A = this chain, B = another copy of it.
Amino acid sequence: MNVNTAFLLQRRTIRKYKSEDVADDLLNDIINEGCRTSTTGNMQVYSIIVTRDSQIREQLLPLHFNQPMVTEAPVVLTFCADFNRFNKWCVLNDAKPGYDNFLSFMTAAIDALLVAQTICISAEARGLGICYLGTTTYMAHKIIEVLRLPLGVVPVTTVTLGWPAVYPEQPDRLPAGAIVHREVYTEYTDQQIRDYYSAKEAREDSAQFVRENNKTTLAQVFTNVRYKKEDNVYFSGILLQVLKDQGFMNQ
């Protein structure tokens, strides 16, 4: 068979979309391909919320820190870890579900994330553009309210989907050698770390990032501006509370 996957190498995240809609039939084809993704025990413990309604997307907008794609893309897909449907099926069939624990949350989150990525690849293969919103795990508690997610359901990622209006430059990536370990994990030497990140640091956009934020190193832009400890700690507390509230911490 051998399908040409070169588009995977050329891809980039799309943040500017045409006003053109994504037809329902097209979206259904993409979702059907997504639903063939492997899931643990074929339990399919995930759900996909397809949000097109502009009023609901307006409500989601601040929860995604006002990233404009939420209202500018025609479709927002929220991928949820979902044991609710499976639990209901168990109860209707004289079976007592035991999925109100952290392992089960991870099982369901893995299902949801693998399906999300198949859907993104299927969409990109059709010329559509996607953007992942990492804000989902920060603001899960509020997304749960807007999307009316019941017990047993937690949003784990969100994808905006539409026809690309602007193709940005491809961002940098670390060399594969930085990511891949042979046989077992090999701890990095300081010199390896410097080498692996040197191209990233040398980029003009990185230098600009450092200047704009009045920092001396690129790493400080991450630790002091973009992904700060105090925020991470704060949102960790909220996310763990979400898992409790949604019924995944009863072990």
Q: Which residues of A approach B to under 8 Å, CB–CB?
A: 1-5, 7-11, 13, 28, 31-38, 40-44, 46-53, 56, 80, 84-86, 88-90, 92-99, 101-104, 106-107, 109-110, 113-114, 116-118, 120-122, 125-127, 130-132, 134, 137-138, 146-150, 153, 156-157, 171-174, 176, 178-185, 187-188, 190, 193-194, 196-197, 216-220, 222-224, 226-230, 232-233, 235-237, 239-240, 251
Contacts and interface: CB of A to CB of B under 8 A. Distances in A.
A7 B1 CA distance: 8
7 contacts: A4-B125, A44-B178, A92-B193, A97-B223, A97-B229, A98-B223, A104-B236
B36 A8 contact: yes
B125 A157 contact: no
B239 A157 contact: no
Nearest to A155: B185
A2 B4 CA distance: 10
Given A8-B36, A121-B118, A179-B35, A227 B147 contact: no
B237 A180 contact: no
Nearest to A227: B41
A47 to B, nearest CB: 6
Closest 9 CB pairs of A and B: A98-B229, A95-B219, A93-B219, A117-B117, A93-B217, A8-B33, A3-B125, A101-B236, A103-B236
B52 A183 contact: yes
A21 B80 CA distance: 37
A9 B31 contact: no
- Which of A51, A53, A101, A147 is the most central at the interface, judged by chain B CB atoms within 10 Å of its CB? A101
A121 to B, nearest CB: 5
A73 to B, nearest CB: 15
Contact of A117 (B37, B153, B227): B37
Contacts of A1: 7, 125, 127
